[in-house]
Structure 1
């Protein structure tokens, strides 16, 4: 998929609807020229609402939708008639979408579930009609409330992909190949750096019809946290993964050192990433024998669950799934 089809950041002007004014009407009928107040309330202005949709994985559909303008509520009428509410605008977004105030950066809301609806920009309340203000001392109130104004603000929508497992590694570590083998995802695969220019999601089938979601994040290079290579643009997607699966090729000159560099880049970007569960997969393991595998293991941290795999040779792929599933469901 072309990189311009993956959009994970948009800025939108949101204008919710103004509330309708209450009515100052008095009841009039033949034989009753001086009836009491019967002004109805104004209708609420339209909200702007975000709704989670698990079938979406990009904000592409909002890239050119720079303004969202909800309708105003209608004014109240006679005979206690309430004005109609302004139509809400409902925008579907991928799971993992965060809305922020564009000026302050403050988080407004977060969409994490399919069908979840949250009000992004509330419509103005409708004003009360004059019927609400009658009393024993004021039988004929002329006062009624205007509707409250809507909200006019700029909002940033930012997507952080929701996945159970995030693949972390340098370019050509075999992340895309693994995702293509264990899921129906079809990431671009080639023998050069930065094959993956956009995150890819895949649903991995597991035993007894279970499944989990895996995300292939574009390759990290040393200095990514400082903006080199693809920079920090995609590092934020790793923040939402439950488990980080580090992937390093047996072609590496120093697997242990490469692992430490990856950890350092994540720590510089967000130290909280180091609190996530970590697994290590050594890829292209069909190229080495058992003796070399044992030598490599001796150089790695003893508390880091490690497995040697080959996506092309299907070596230990089921065992890797078992390791991931156990880590996902292990009690803290």
Structure 2
């Protein structure tokens, strides 16, 4: 039975098929963890595989190296380091990075999530050194296809979020915060390609910024860099796309929570944007505008 069929069975509505598939996957992981991880990364990469099984392969990858329980996560980290040989390690990373350019959203978005989880293990150990440069190039290279830009922005946002939530000592990531921020803003300003591709990239970029806001504290402490961020967030609060506008106001809410003391010089502009949103915009946007002022009142 093929790996793809096993993954399909794992998603089956038939409990017997599902249980048998889960047992096969568990046995494969336990018998040769390194090969299991390579196989799952290859299933995620293959364009001729169904989107739902590609996504499941990626989730299985993630769940093999990450857990909400700190003790379990430490055990998974030890297993990754001790049981995945160098050749397999490099192949898995190669497959993940290739998947970022997949036109299938279920695949490239899952790859972005796995890359962030893997980076949280590798970067503190000074491994996977080229990763940041590769991701930055994906976003800033004008020849990059839209799916690659979109998923790479996802990955950058997730990585920044991981660094803050897990209090990771990732000097290689922190030292590139300005470049990461610049790449995210490049995505926020994206206008190349079709209108549809521009919108999805701006959505990913502003979502990445939301995930990265606490990570870029050093940048927010510098007035001209802070103003650069605020100008771009405020610009997207008036974007033509409702999802982008909603996310931009979510950024403003987060900024009010984390950087309240830095907001004075931007309040006139924010006031106009929030009043306009509350009076004229769709409910999901208006609610975020109201949330901004609720947050200000609490602070």
Larger Rg: 1
Higher relative contact order (CA 8 A, sep 6+): 1
TM-score (normalizing by structure 1): 0.27
TM-score (normalizing by structure 2): 0.29
**Which structure: greater helix fraction?**
2
